[in-house]
Amino acid sequence: MSDIAELMDRFESVFGGPPTFAVRAPGRVNLIGEHTDYNDGFVFPAAIDYDVRIVGRPRDDGKVRLWSALFGRRAQFGLGADRRSLRAGWSNYVRGVAVILGGEEYPLRGMDAILDGSVPLSSGLSSSAALEVASCLAFECAGEFSIEPKRRALLCQRAEREFVGVQCGIMDQFISSLGRADHALMIDTRTLDFKAVPLPSSGVSIVIGNTNKPRGLVDSEYNRRRAECEAGVAAIRASAPHAAALRDVSMDLLDANRHVLSDVVYRRCRHVISENVRVLESVRALEAGDLTRFGRLMNESHDSLRDDYEVSCSELDAMVEAARAVIGVYGSRMTGAGFGGCTVSLVADEAVERFRESVGQEYQRRTGREAAFYACRASAGAERLL
Ligand code: ADP
Ligand code: MG
């Protein structure tokens, strides 16, 4: 990806004259707390130093002219237009943000803008949320208004749900908007309260492994898991009326209701309930500097996603197993919705090279696919750079 200086040069050659603002918004990796967000539970993501960048300049005629450096393509729309583009699907994330902001009566201005990004697309690192949050910040710069970061996250989530049409939770836009350098954020997805927890400043790295397996079943299976969780809560509520979501159900309450649940629904609920406990424990482990315990919780999370929630796949399992066999790895798990995408591992710095080599080879031997690895640092959330 081009750095900001290069993007500013590209802006001059595409649109003529200098840009007046530049922004970035990061992708994210969820360290632990998977499939808990739509159950009002806890998640624990970090923003990563892979991001979407937008360099732009306002226009006074209400037009938004975009150039995607990644796709080498243009797109254009007028503020107030609420149609999705079929040809330039990538522009819908920007259009969606414009539609939502326009509906909230922010003083939107048009702009010329060039966008580029280093977040791998469709790999579960949330390039879409990074693009939405960067777009929102770009409109803030162009129109000279500013939106409080939590509200920005909620507006961008609405753009993805209402305009793009993906029924996502709040985690991705939240962490992209509010991330903090060298911290992970424990987010209560019910109240949107959060706690920034420092990651070790040296000695360990977060290593993301991309299985490069397209996430095939993810939409239909995702909807089915949501329905199974809802069915679980509905059955439990008959004897425990306070249970509005699985967040309100303890393991004891679940077990007391086992006879009213099918085996599948029971196991889905067990994953979500145990995962919420693991998130809270992992925060305590990190605060106590106990990386061994943190890594063990990551491993348990993966095993629960594989066995109880059944959202892993042979590629994710192969990569996680290869990672756990490397000395210096504290823990490894799938991250994101599953059925492909990425793993996240906590790795001692001195073991990172060994990790890349050995996991890459073993993964290819077992699956025939080439892995990609990204060693990352926890980065700041969306920010204006110019
Ligand atoms: P994920 O959010 O897991 O990366 P999605 O399918 O939700 O996957 O979003 C990926 C889409 O976001 C891409 O297909 C593209 O349309 C858009 N996108 C993300 N980053 C960029 C970028 N740098 N430039 C243009 N479009 C992007
Ligand atoms: Mg996405």
**Could you report the per-residue pLDDT of 114-143, keeping only the tens digit for each?**
999 999 998 889 999 999 999 999 999 999
| Residue-level pLDDT at 3 | 87
Angle of CA points 200, 202, 207, to nearest 5°? 80
Q: How far is the CA of 236 from the centre of ligand 2 (A)?
A: 32
217 has a pLDDT exceeding 90: no
Across residues 137-162, what is the average pLDDT?
98
Q: How far is the CA of 90 from the centre of ligand 2 (A)?
A: 11
Q: How far is the CA of 50 from the centre of ligand 2 (A)?
A: 14
| Residue-level pLDDT at 2 | 66
66 within ligand 1 shell (Cβ under 6 A): no
Per cent of the chain over pLDDT 90 is 94
Better pLDDT: 141 or 202? 141
Q: How far is the CA of 127 from the centre of ligand 2 (A)?
A: 6
Q: How far is the CA of 124 from the centre of ligand 2 (A)?
A: 7
Closest to 157 in 3D by CA, of 188, 181, 189: 189
Residues 6+ apart with CB under 8 A from 298: 31, 32, 282, 330, 331, 332, 333, 344, 345, 346
Q: How far is the CA of 122 from the centre of ligand 2 (A)?
A: 7
117 within ligand 1 shell (Cβ under 6 A): yes
Ligand nearest to the CA of 90: 1
Better pLDDT: 333 or 222? 333
| Residue-level pLDDT at 260 | 98
The DSSP string of 71-95 is: TTEEEEEETT--PPPSS-GGGHHHH
What's the sign of the alpha-carbon dihedral 293, 295, 301, 307? negative
Q: What dihedral do alpha carbons 295, 297, 302, 304 form, nearest 10°?
A: 160
Of 40, 51, 172, 308, the catalytic one is 172
Q: What is the residue-averaged pLDDT of the chain? A: 96
Across residues 312-320, what is the average pLDDT?
98
DSSP letter (8 states) at residue 120? P
219 has a pLDDT exceeding 90: no
| Residue-level pLDDT at 220 | 86
Atom of ligand 1 nearest to the CA of 92: 16
Across residues 320-328, what is the average pLDDT?
98
Closest to 112 in 3D by CA, of 53, 52, 55, 51: 55
Q: Would you place residue 201 in the very low, low, confident or very high pLDDT band (cuts 50, 70, 90)? A: confident
127 within ligand 1 shell (Cβ under 6 A): yes
41 within ligand 1 shell (Cβ under 6 A): no
* Residue 128: both structure tokens together: 């879409």
Q: Residues 274-294: pLDDT tens digits?
A: 999 999 999 999 999 999 999
Ligand 2 ion: Cβ-proximal residues, 5 Å cutoff: 128
| Residue-level pLDDT at 247 | 97
| Residue-level pLDDT at 1 | 59
Across residues 60-72, what is the average pLDDT?
97
Q: Whose CA is nearest to atom 11 of ligand 1?
A: 128
14 within ligand 1 shell (Cβ under 6 A): no
Ligand nearest to the CA of 54: 1
Ligand nearest to the CA of 2: 1
52 within ligand 1 shell (Cβ under 6 A): yes
Q: Residues 350-377: pLDDT tens digits?
A: 999 999 999 999 999 999 999 999 999 9
128 within ligand 1 shell (Cβ under 6 A): yes
Residue 188 annotated among the catalytic residues of the structure: no
H-type helices in the chain, by residue range?
4-15, 92-103, 127-143, 149-158, 171-178, 218-237, 251-256, 263-287, 291-307, 314-324, 352-367
115 within ligand 1 shell (Cβ under 6 A): yes
Q: Would you place residue 101 in the very low, low, confident or very high pLDDT band (cuts 50, 70, 90)? A: very high
Per cent of the chain over pLDDT 70 is 99
In this prediction the pTM is: 0.96
Count of Cβ atoms closer than 10 Å to residue 312 Cβ: 21
Least confident range of 35-49, 187-201, 217-231: 217-231
159 has a pLDDT exceeding 90: yes
Q: Would you place residue 22 in the very low, low, confident or very high pLDDT band (cuts 50, 70, 90)? A: very high
215 has a pLDDT exceeding 70: yes
Q: Whose CA is nearest to atom 26 of ligand 1?
A: 90
